[in-house]
Amino acid sequence: MIKIHWYVILAAFILDFILGDPEILPHPVIYMGKAIYFFEGRFRKYFKNLLVSGGFFAVALIFSTWLLAYITIKLSMDIHPVFSSFVQAFLLFFCFSSTSLEKAASSVFSALKENDIKKARKRVSMIVGRQAETLDQNGVIRASVETVAENFVDGFLSPLFFAMIGGVPWALAYKMINTLDSMVGYKNDTYMLFGRVSARIDDMANFIPARLSVLIISLSAFIFSFKKGVLALKTGLSQGSFHKSPNAGFPEACFAGALEIRLGGPNMYHDVMVEKPFIGKEFKDPGKEKIKQACDLMMAGSFLATLISCFILFVF
């Protein structure tokens, strides 16, 4: 196992805050996606049982990602410890996506400010899995806020959590887990069996971070006001399980409480209506300004989680 230092996490957070996802740099997730696409057909041919082939497919890609990252960091250590710290910070930076998500959600907010619902639908479709072409303004706003809330875990807290316990190789392995789930973890005819293991591994990987998010988001909400913090904690604990996903409901419920808005409800996914309960049902539907407030809460949560992690590593 490769230990991680507090300054590596801090440097990765600063890089993400300043750079986001610069297009001029090759992002590892792009190559993860290409690897998934390349090997999917080959693993489907190896075993007639799609559940078995999908299981080996997921485990092989996750382990290969961990191994490649481990070897890269070990080789960098042989060159010089300082150089290795730069390499680790750079790789961990690619695991964080708070700033890029904030920019994407803010672009939806800008389109709504211009009263351009078509542009807003197009922009929100780039960051959500549901069908966006028929969403009204409230639907676009809810989709944006829910994505910000859920991806606070997927795009920041979970990779940070795994970096803390297993170093950067574990953080990158998590990104492969998350990428697998986003590409093959669907409940349709194509992936119902083949993608089931990928989806289950993603559920397990996010189980602890999703529940930790209740504490982090609530503490972050306290920064804005005592009432927001109390409502975030109360709603997160009482309604976090009101979701078909075993994990997504916890950050969404905290955001619903902190922002005093109603989230969830039925939505279309790949031409199928998925019935989901409302979260924060005692609140009203969100206005477009809630997108910006959600982004502020997410960034505050990312900053707070970074400080806590750095403190833990520095002290212990």
Residues 7-46 pLDDT 10s: 999 999 999 999 988 878 888 999 999 999 999 999 999 8
Cα dihedral sign, 133-290-263-203:
positive
Please give the Cα distance from 43 to 180 (Å, whole number).
Answer: 14
Q: Which whole-number Å values give the CA distances from 183 to 17, 51, 60, 288, in the listed order?
A: 26, 16, 16, 29
Q: pLDDT at position 273, please?
A: 60
- Where does the pLDDT of residue 189 fall: very low under 50, low under 70, confident under 90, or very high at 90 and above? confident
Q: What is the pLDDT of residue 129?
A: 74
- Closest C-alpha to 233, from 246, 223, 243, 219: 219
pLDDT of residue 276: 75
> Residue 59's closest CA among 173, 192, 193?
173
User: Which residues, 6 or more positions from 195, have their beta carbon under 8 angstroms from its beta carbon?
Assistant: 54, 180, 181, 184, 185, 186
- Given a cut of 80, whether residue 122 has pLDDT beyond it is yes
Q: Is the pLDDT of residue 214 over 60?
A: yes
Q: What's the pLDDT at 250?
A: 97
In this prediction, residue 269 carries a pLDDT of 61
Say whether pLDDT at 192 is over 80.
yes
How much is the average pLDDT of 89-101? 96
**Domain spans in the chain, listed from the N-terminal domain onward:** 6-315
Q: How many CA atoms lie within 13 A of 112 on its CB side?
A: 25
**Mean pLDDT of the region 174-198:** 94
Proportion of the chain above pLDDT 70, given as a percent: 97
pLDDT of 311 strictly over 60: yes
- Average pLDDT estimate for 236-252: 92
β partners of residue 274? 267
List pLDDT tens digits, range 261-283.
999 876 666 566 666 788 998 99
Residue 244: predicted pLDDT = 82
Q: To the nearest whole number, what is the mean pLDDT of the chain? A: 93
Q: What is the mean pLDDT of residues 230-241?
A: 96
- pLDDT at 272 (0 to 100): 60
